[in-house]
Amino acid sequence: MDPIVGLDIGTTKTCAVIGCLNDNNQVEIIGVGVCPSNGMKNGVIINIDNTAASIEKAIEDAEMMAGCEVTSALVGISGSHIKGENSKGVVAIANRNRIISHLEVKRVIEAAQAVVIPVDREILHVLSREFTVDDQSGIKDPIGMTGVRLEAEVHIVTGAITNMQNIIKSVEKAGYHFQDMVFNPIASAEAVVSQDEKELGVALVDIGGGTTDIVIYLEGGACYSSVLSLGGIHVTNDISIGLRTPFESAEMIKNKYGCAVLDLVDASEMMEVPSVGGRPPRRLFRQELTQIIEPRVAEMMEMIDHELIKSGKKGMLAAGIVVTGGGSMLDGCVEAAERVMNLPVRIGLPKDLAGLKDRVATPQFSNGVGLLKYGIRIKTFKGGKSAMKQRGPGVVNRIRKWINDYL
């Protein structure tokens, strides 16, 4: 199998993960490249040239590590322009023997996506949740079943065309072909959430630098998605202002000493803070730092909780919440989330990998690894032929997407 590239263009860093499926059917990581992002704000591109430069550097570094060259990349998309909604479609099984084939499934998913989409938006995903054949509901795979009426419930994710075009332009400007686009938390879930958790009911929360992406799975299918414009950068900004220290120092202090919950920090613990304007560094209690971080993180958790309540599915999340993304690396993040949301919370790390898996063993890589895994799954299904090369009439070919997401 030719190597595949998962390209995560995040607000703070751009990361390229090259990998393939090995002989043991495991996803093998063969190259990783990370470069700071300069052209992004809250998950969307605000400068194409700078974004292209970050992409080029990240992929080149990954190529160097992998010892091979790649031509195209599968990219993630986020930003508050992304919206999710549920929809239903119904078709009659018109063929003579009344057996449901791929054709009927394709027709019913097309019928389900016949919702009114504004001209400035495009469908990113049509994720099937469940099918009903005649009166039998809760069917995951109706192919081969007999019936007269097929109904599909789907979750449709749409995004603003301009933002999608800017991603494609940036990838192409960096000298690579755009392969496909995946909503970030759907990719992250691919890397860190198990199928069992998806069946039980789980919320995947990817806390990045400038966005927090949420997707809820129930009975194996996605049923709610949302993007909040908040992330680790907001915590760092508060520290920078609160301790009167430059953003870069605040970032360093947060990563080294930061904690989201006051009770977890020993009252006698001290730390050193660099000052601005050539003044000497100061020594402070670590609890003073926690007092700045705690309310901001609690506020973020409340906003995430509000989304879970808004979805109407919070009470059904038997597998609780999986937090991932760089923001989840803050000490006390799990405790802060559990306090506010009152559900079991765990950190999601990329798993079930071979090769250079230690290079991607932190939550910041969930998205990049998830994109790679998504790409490999689609390619494997297509029998080694890329399902994603052709670009359709829209920015992202709608018919092609149902094939990708139905699997």
Among 210, 221, 370, 375, which residue sits at the site for ligand ATP (rule: CB under 6 A)? 210
249 binding ligand ATP? (CB under 6 A)? no
Here the tokens at position 229 are 């414009």
Separation of CA 352 from chain center: 18
Span interacting with ligand ATP, options 92-100, 174-182, 205-213, 239-247, rule CB under 6 A: 205-213
Among 201, 208, 232, 370, which residue sits at the site for Mg ion (rule: CB under 5 A)? 208
147 binding ligand ATP? (CB under 6 A)? no
Question: SS3 of 353, please?
Answer: strand
**What is the gyration radius of the CA atoms in the chain, in angstroms?**
22
Span interacting with Mg ion, options 2-10, 108-116, 171-179, 228-236, rule CB under 5 A: 2-10
Alpha helices by DSSP H, listed for 130-194, are 161-173, 184-192
Instruction: Report DSSP state, residue 134.
Output: T
* 294, amino acid identity: E
Q: Least distance to ligand ATP from the beta carbon of 208, Å?
A: 2
In angstroms, the CA 351 to CA 66 distance is 20
Here the tokens at position 4 are 């595949």
Q: Least distance to ligand ATP from the beta carbon of 336, Å?
A: 12
Q: Least distance to Mg ion from the beta carbon of 139, Å?
A: 34
Cβ distance to Mg ion smaller for residue 128 or 367:
367
6 binding ligand ATP? (CB under 6 A)? no
In angstroms, the CA 61 to CA 168 distance is 20
Span interacting with ligand ATP, options 194-202, 225-233, 273-281, 397-405, rule CB under 6 A: 225-233
329 binding ligand ATP? (CB under 6 A)? yes
Beta strands in 51-200 (DSSP E): 72-77, 83-92, 121-133, 136-139, 149-160, 177-183
In angstroms, the CA 360 to CA 351 distance is 9
Give 225's strand partners: 215
Contact 15, 32 (CB under 8 A): yes
Among 12, 132, 170, 240, which residue sits at the site for ligand ATP (rule: CB under 6 A)? 12
Binding partner of 326, given ligand ATP, Mg ion, none, CB within 5-8 angstroms per partner class: ligand ATP
* 324, amino acid identity: T
Alpha helices by DSSP H, listed for 231-351, are 232-242, 247-257, 286-311, 333-341
31 binding Mg ion? (CB under 5 A)? no
Which residue's Cβ lies closest to Mg ion?
208
Binding partner of 205, given Mg ion, ligand ATP, none, CB within 5-8 angstroms per partner class: none
Question: SS3 of 122, please?
Answer: strand
Q: How many residues comprise the chain?
A: 407
* 140, amino acid identity: K
Within residues 53-82, the interface with ligand ATP by CB under 6 A covers 78
Among 250, 304, 322, 330, which residue sits at the site for ligand ATP (rule: CB under 6 A)? 330
Within residues 352-391, the interface with ligand ATP by CB under 6 A covers 364
Q: Least distance to ligand ATP from the beta carbon of 20, Å?
A: 23
Among 10, 350, 355, 363, which residue sits at the site for Mg ion (rule: CB under 5 A)? 10
What residues make contact with Mg ion under the rule CB under 5 A? 10, 208, 367
What residues make contact with ligand ATP under the rule CB under 6 A? 10-13, 43, 78, 208-211, 231-233, 236, 251, 254-255, 258, 325-327, 329-330, 364
